Chain A
């Protein structure tokens, strides 16, 4: 069964450093998403991406965040200057065009720890 993969599984970084979280969506999917979940809190939407551009972004997704699809398989989330409050699980998700918009496939997540 195809699945979304994410690397690394755990990233530790110092405050102010840049991090790039990587995702490989399911191969024939065209819609991509990033969500995050701070420990003990709800899963929060960050950004959606389609046709090589951002479709929608939340208030959390400020100028410190960016997304890119550098090639035909990867989808990345970059945080330019990390803050302590960026510590969270970051989930990538993708969906196809034929299924429901709410039928998204999530990756296992990257745990980001900012010290």
Chain B
């Protein structure tokens, strides 16, 4: 797994758009970028995955520039319930074992 760097914590307010950036300078050609969300006392939850450009689903958007050395998870119009830890992962999409090595993630706090 490529090493990733993301902010330890972020604060925002309800209704704002939140962008969490993850750096992965050593990303390999076959690596995909995956984001997970973890609410307090719950299991991690897969949010989104992408390889390049932009991916969007009902939860978030993922922006990946052409050099793929970073990625940005974008949460539109956050609410209090988006308070969670967000993890950025980089690794081969079809690795046979696919154990996930979680880092410390970004602790996002949303205020009223």
Contact = CB atoms under 8 A, between A and B. Distances in A.
Contacts of B59: none
A100 B45 contact: no
Contacts of B98: 31, 48, 95, 100-102, 104
B49 interface: yes
A9 to B, nearest CB: 10
Interface in A37-71: 42-45, 48, 55-56, 58
B102 A42 contact: yes
B39 to A, nearest CB: 10
Interface string B25-54: 000000010100010011111100100000
Task: Report whether over half of chain A's contact residues are helix, strand or loop; otherwise say mixed.
Answer: strand
Contact of B34 (A31, A55, A100): A100
Interface string B74-103: 000000000000000101111111111111
Interface residues of B, number: 25
B43 A103 contact: no
Q: How large is the interface on A (under 10, 10 to 19, 20 to 34, 35 or more residues)?
A: 20 to 34
Interface in A72-115: 89, 91, 93, 95, 100-109, 111
Interface of B: 32, 34, 38, 41-46, 49, 89, 91-104
Interface of A: 4, 31, 33, 35, 42-45, 48, 55-56, 58, 89, 91, 93, 95, 100-109, 111
